[in-house]
Every structure is written in structure tokens, then in C-alpha cells.
Chains A and B, each alone.
Chain A
């Protein structure tokens, strides 16, 4: 394995981010809990620091603190079948166990159901817990991505109303020039992140999806700030240097694989080493690409956000199939690893159909592995490794046959 040096900067970036959130009130700023597909550029422009309870849950999962906090939420009646991010978050609030000293109390909860319905329900629990106001951006699912002008109008109306809510909480008026600036920075970061993801089309790939999972924190949480731009510019320099020198992220790249769905955070290192030792490079994934498509224009950002949440972010099976078929070609994939994630029904329930269709269209095999993004009690890592091992043997056989 060849670790990327730029990733070391993330430690300080994260410390600064969580410290700023904890110090928000002292600095005349506000805290908004958010999820994916919410207009963070607008929040930054209006002095709200967007905080992702999901990201905090990831930290708990990656450090396996999930094993201590999730059961505490279950004791309160939150079923083990609920998303493990939510159980970890609620358990962390109850116990106070958190490497970031918890999260600051929110002034606002802002959620979009374009990502999933789970977040709406989870935030409803938090809203009652903190007595904080909540705004749902309701995005009607556009079926197979067909144009829905009524939905665009409905979403845009909710976004315009959000400005009033933010102004009401902060007592400040939205400054269009500041919004333009955060949008510009967001687009710059998104463009850089896109180039980072595309760098993996090279052989050998200078980066793996495991690196991307770690590197994605700023594009998620700090889109619209200079921090994100500077970080990705530096990372891209390192990747371009690797490409020029022919250095791969995996020691001896033999297989190029796709990872579907969220990571299994508690097993990130173990799976990364497991795959590296077998020459398997995860070169791209749906999850990391999701953050490359969120930039909007300065002219009518509200319309752009509405269209983005409705048509781009909103998962459509047919479009997902088309995208995977394109990835297969662009990244020269040998196989697909589909993570059937108990905690993310939204992204997982389509997987059997997805695998069937993608393999039919591309001839490239895929394997479904049963896991969970944060709760190690809900899967067996040994079974996952064994399944991947067998899959790699199948791929090896195909390579031999194809010469």
C-alpha cells in the first residue's frame, strides 16, 4: 500500500472544523445540522456552520465506538433494524462518548429527503430532543428521472422559504455577493474533486476508493470554503505526480473494482489491506462520485439546487444502471463489489436488480456482500473476506481465459 501524504492534512482540517463548530456562538455564527443534498453554500454565506451527524457517526464507526454507543440507543427502544448512523448518534448523545466532544447544539436541523427518508425521521428525533426548529426539503421522487416542473416549483419554493428561516434565526439578511463567493468556491472544490476521482482511470490507479472515503470529508462538509479548495488542489498535485511516475496506490494492481454503496467504516483498514495484498484496487464508487455533482451556477442557484436534488441526487435505478455501465468502460473495471448495507435500505434494496442488469449489459461480474456501514455486530468480516476471495478467484479465471 502506498499512503497518500496529503491525507495527513485532514487531521488538522477536522480539528479546526469541529473546533469552529463548538466555538460558533462565541464567533457570532450558528450551527445547522444537515444531510447530503442541502444547500451548504447558502449556509456558509449566512454564517451557519453545516454539521453532519452522519459524519460524526462515521468517526464513531471507524473507531469502533459504535459497539459502545449503538446499544445504548437500542435500550431506549430504537430498533437494531434502524440505520446504525442514527443509533450511534443517539447513543453518543446519551452517553457523551465522542472523540469530537460531541456535536454543538443545533440552531437548525435542515434535511433533504432526496438522500433518504431515514434522515428525516432521525432529525425529527433530534428536533424534539434539542427543541430546535427543523426544515425538510421535500423532494418528490422523479420516477426514472423524467422532467417534473411542478416538483421543481415545489422544491424551489421550499428553498426560498429556507432563506427566511435562516434570516429569522440569525437576524442577518442574505448577502447575494457572499452567496456568489461560496458558490464559486464550492464549484472550484467540486471541479478539483472530479479530477481526483478521474485520476483513478489511469493504470495503475494513483488512488483507491479507500483513500477517497477518507479524503471526502471536506467536499461533504466544507464545500463553499477555501479549506476544501486548498486541500483538493494539494491532493491533485500529489496524484498527478504519481501518474507521471507510474506509481499506483495498490502495490501490484491486478484487478480494478467498483465499490457500490457506503463503506463498512469499522473495517476500512482491514479491507483495504486485504484487497491490497491480493492486488485488487477499488478504483471508483457511486458514493464518492455523488459529491462531484453538487456545484451550482451563480445566476439562479435555487433553480439549480431544485433540479440537482430532483434529477441528479435522487437515485433512479435506470440511471444508476447506465452510470455503472459507463464506469465499467471508463475505469476498465474487472468486477463490481456491491455492499448490501443493512443500515442503508435506500441504496441497497435495488442492488439485486442493479447487479443483474449491469452484468447483462457489460458481461462484468459482480458479487453482493452483506454488511453494515457502522455496526460490526450485524455482519461477519470473515464471511465478507471469504466471499471477496472467491470472487477474485473467479476474476483471475476470467483473466486467464481472456489471455
Chain B
């Protein structure tokens, strides 16, 4: 590790596939990729493999468009591109969670293109308000454990899972503390640093990541946040797309006080209830997370709960990071914006896409949004 304690996280994230490949060669251990939303990393870890979160949004797409139409979201096309170009050949397995029609079709296309590569379609239930969904998920997670055992040779026992849950709980606790520091001292604990910390946690062995995090300047005072200078905002979306939006938010004086990204707070919330067995805790965590747009609960309640989450954070504004062609996100947005407007909370919608996206245009829109809160731009 160099003198800058942050560099290990940033370096890892900048070439996480290369890092994971080298780690696998070095240790001889298994690496299992997954496509993010709500794949239980603890379960993969309990099977002896390293979970590797994959994002397709920032991948430049070429060959993938021969296999799926261009009106597919950049996350799915990007993953397919990585697969077709051989970048994911080193993976021992891939888990595709069923969160929307596109993930369902990506699973089919992947199965057809790569029939001999181990992959699993994780059937996540969509009815978050239904007791039968809890029972279904519990059984589904046990099936996933069977798949993992087939890949790694070690089907996780309850004891294995307990250990992994404890490790992830500890890691998430520290990451939540980092999030608090971002809210308090956003010029030191910048969004860039925070996002690198979270992103690297999902792409490295969690035990080692914990050790690296301990060397961070946790007690350094830094410059506390002055609310007159910065604008607290809330984000709804999937991933940081384009990735440079993170730097733009830092530079323009926004502080992210809450968000629902699958690579953000959603990945570090705890939710398991005391007294439950490890399977029950995994299930409880899933059902306690903020509602992902592809899931369903009573529609008015879903909107009201979103509004409550925003208000609880004290955010002055909301940014929707909607992936292009993501029907789940786009159907919600007009009603959710209207509800925010009624509460006097301004919002901005940014459309993410792998093609034809200009960061300059996004920056101009963010600057205009920043100006609506008054004060000089930093």
C-alpha cells in the first residue's frame, strides 16, 4: 500500500477485472460474478468464492448489439459485451438476478451464447408485501447455495453462513460510518472516495477490505460541512452512470445525504432480525431494503415511503439517475417528481446511457440545478 491510504481503493476500482483476475491467479480461489441488485454476497462468500459485482453501464458496446437490440439498457448490453469479448472468461460462475424483463432476457441470451459456463438465474420475488414471497425467497436462496456448491465444491452450511454474515455486518457497519463522515465532512470524505470505498468492497475479498479500511484517516478532523456552501441531495437510481457524475457532484458542492443506488447505501444496509436463522436474516434484509423500482408494493405506499425517506434525510433536492430504456425507473419518475414538487423539493432527471452521452451536457444540467438552490457555484 502506498502513502495515500485511499489509493488502494481507487486503483482497484479503476481495473477491478484485472485485479480480480490477478487475485484468482495468486490465491487459486474461485471468483463468482454477479449483476448486482440484491444478490446475497454473504452466500457467495460462505461458499468459499469471492463475489465480484459487475456493472455494464460504462462499457463501450459493439458486438453485444448483434445479440440484443440497441434499445436494451446499457447495463445488460455492457455485461454481454464483456462476455462476448472474453473479459469474463476467468469467472467461475455468474449470477443474474431477475429484477426486470431485460435481466430475464439477458439470462436467456447468456445461456444460449455460453451454455457451458456456470451461471444461475436468481429468481427474486417482486411482491414485497406478500408473506408467500418470503417463503419463496428462502427456498430460492437454498437453491442458489446448491449452485454455488456445484461451482466451488463447498455448499455453504448454516455455520459458514453465520461467519460470512458476521463479516459482512462488520464491513457494512464501517462503510455506514464512512457514509456518515461524507455527510459531515464532504470535502475530505468526498463522494469520489466514498463511492470507491463502496465499489471496492463489492469487488475484493471482504476480510482484506476490512483491513485496508482500518488504515483510513477516520479520526482526522477535516473541514466540517458548512450548510451555507453545500446542497444536501438525495439520489434514486441504479449505478453511478456516467461514473464522472460522482466528481461533478463533488465539484458543484452537492452532498449526498441519502440514495437508493444498488452500488450505494442499498449495498451496506443491515436488515436481518435478531433471533432468526441465517437464511431468515438474508430474507429479512432483502425485504427491509428501500423498494427497488422493479419490485412491487401498494403503489401509493411505495411513493409515500420514497417521499418519507427523502424528507428524513433533510435533502434539499432529488436527482433521478435513470438508465435509458429502464422501464421500471421511468414509469415511477413522473408521479414521484410530482409528489416531491408538492412538498417543495425540486428534482432533476438525468438519463444514463452507454451511447451518445455527453458528460458536458450532464454537467450543464447539474450546474443549472445547483443554481436553483442559490449561492455561488464553488
Q: Is the CB of B299 within 8 A of A127?
A: yes
Q: Is the CB of A349 within 8 A of B330?
A: no
Count chain A CB atoms within 10 A of each CB in B66, B108, B126, B303 and give the residue with the most.
B108
Bound complex: CA A117 to CA B104 (Å): 10
Instruction: Give the nearest-CB partner of B320 in chain A.
Output: A77
How far does the Cβ of B324 sit from chain A's closest Cβ, in whole Å?
Answer: 7
Q: Is the CB of B296 within 8 A of A345?
A: no
Q: Is the CB of B67 within 8 A of A121?
A: no
Bound complex: CA A351 to CA B67 (Å): 8
Known contacts being A349-B72, A351-B69, is A77 close to B108, with CB within 8 Å?
Answer: no
Chain A interface residue count, CB cutoff 8 Å, equals 50
Known contacts being A342-B71, A345-B71, is A128 close to B136, with CB within 8 Å?
Answer: no
Bound complex: CA A120 to CA B294 (Å): 9
Bound complex: CA A317 to CA B333 (Å): 31
Q: Is the CB of B133 within 8 A of A340?
A: no
Type the 1/0 row for A377-395, where 1 means its CB is closer than 8 Å to any CB of B: 0000000000000000000
Q: Is the CB of A349 within 8 A of B325?
A: no
In the bound complex, residues from chain B placing their C-beta under 8 Å from that of A348 are 69, 71
Count chain A CB atoms within 10 A of each CB in B107, B133, B300, B331 and give the residue with the most.
B331
Type the 1/0 row for A348-391, where 1 means its CB is closer than 8 Å to any CB of B: 11111100010000000000000000000000000000000000
Is A17's beta carbon under 8 Å from chain B? no
Known contacts being A134-B298, A150-B139, A349-B72, is A140 close to B108, with CB within 8 Å?
Answer: no
Q: Is the CB of B130 within 8 A of A158?
A: yes
Type the 1/0 row for A68-92, where 1 means its CB is closer than 8 Å to any CB of B: 0000000011110111001000000
Q: Is the CB of B72 within 8 A of A82?
A: no
Known contacts being A136-B296, A345-B105, A345-B327, is A78 close to B334, with CB within 8 Å?
Answer: yes
In the bound complex, residues from chain B placing their C-beta under 8 Å from that of A136 are 126-127, 296
In the bound complex, residues from chain A placing their C-beta under 8 Å from that of B335 are 125, 128
B residues 308-332 near A (Cβ < 8 Å) are: 322, 324-325, 327-328, 330-332
In the bound complex, residues from chain A placing their C-beta under 8 Å from that of B66 are 352
Is B116's beta carbon under 8 Å from chain A? no
Q: Is the CB of A78 within 8 A of B330?
A: yes
Instruction: Give the nearest-CB partner of B112 in chain A.
Output: A353
Q: Is the CB of A340 within 8 A of B69?
A: yes
In the bound complex, residues from chain A placing their C-beta under 8 Å from that of B334 are 76-78, 125
Is B100's beta carbon under 8 Å from chain A? yes
Among the listed B125, B300, B324, which residue makes an inter-chain contact with A154, where contact means beta carbons less than 8 Å apart? B125
Among the listed B105, B132, B349, which residue makes an inter-chain contact with A349, where contact means beta carbons less than 8 Å apart? B105
Known contacts being A81-B325, A121-B332, is A128 close to B299, with CB within 8 Å?
Answer: yes
B residues 343-376 near A (Cβ < 8 Å) are: 349, 351
Is A157's beta carbon under 8 Å from chain B? yes
Among the listed B72, B125, B332, which residue makes an inter-chain contact with A140, where contact means beta carbons less than 8 Å apart? B125
Q: Is the CB of B136 within 8 A of A140?
A: yes
Q: Is the CB of A138 within 8 A of B296?
A: yes
In the bound complex, residues from chain A placing their C-beta under 8 Å from that of B139 are 150
A residues 125-150 near B (Cβ < 8 Å) are: 125, 127-128, 131, 134, 136, 138, 140-144, 148, 150
Q: Is the CB of B69 within 8 A of A353?
A: no
How far does the Cβ of A157 sit from chain B's closest Cβ, in whole Å?
Answer: 4
Known contacts being A78-B331, A140-B123, A352-B67, is A154 close to B136, with CB within 8 Å?
Answer: yes
Instruction: Give the nearest-CB partner of B125 in chain A.
Output: A138
Type the 1/0 row for B83-103, where 1 means its CB is closer than 8 Å to any CB of A: 000000000000000101110
Is A304's beta carbon under 8 Å from chain B? no
How far does the Cβ of A372 sit from chain B's closest Cβ, in whole Å?
Answer: 10
Q: Is the CB of A117 within 8 A of B294?
A: yes
How far does the Cβ of B183 sit from chain A's closest Cβ, in whole Å?
Answer: 29
Among the listed B132, B322, B324, which residue makes an inter-chain contact with A157, where contact means beta carbons less than 8 Å apart? B132
Is B109's beta carbon under 8 Å from chain A? yes
Is A153's beta carbon under 8 Å from chain B? yes
Bound complex: CA A76 to CA B335 (Å): 9
In the bound complex, residues from chain A placing their C-beta under 8 Å from that of B102 are 345, 349
Q: Is the CB of A352 within 8 A of B71?
A: no
Is A199's beta carbon under 8 Å from chain B? no
How far does the Cβ of A233 sit from chain B's closest Cβ, in whole Å?
Answer: 36
Among the listed A122, A138, A346, which residue makes an inter-chain contact with B105, where contact means beta carbons less than 8 Å apart? A346
Bound complex: CA A79 to CA B320 (Å): 13
Bound complex: CA A113 to CA B349 (Å): 27
The 26 listed contacts between A and B (C-beta, < 8 Å) are A76-B334, A79-B322, A81-B330, A82-B331, A83-B327, A121-B328, A124-B296, A124-B331, A128-B303, A128-B335, A136-B296, A138-B125, A138-B130, A138-B296, A140-B123, A140-B136, A140-B140, A143-B107, A153-B135, A157-B132, A317-B111, A318-B112, A345-B102, A349-B68, A349-B69, A350-B105
- The chain A residues found within 8 Å of chain B, CB to CB, are 76-79, 81-83, 86, 113, 116-118, 120-125, 127-128, 131, 134, 136, 138, 140-144, 148, 150-151, 153-154, 157-158, 316-318, 340, 342, 345-346, 348-353, 357
Listed from nearest, the 4 A-B pairs whose CB atoms lie closest are A121-B331, A77-B334, A317-B108, A349-B105
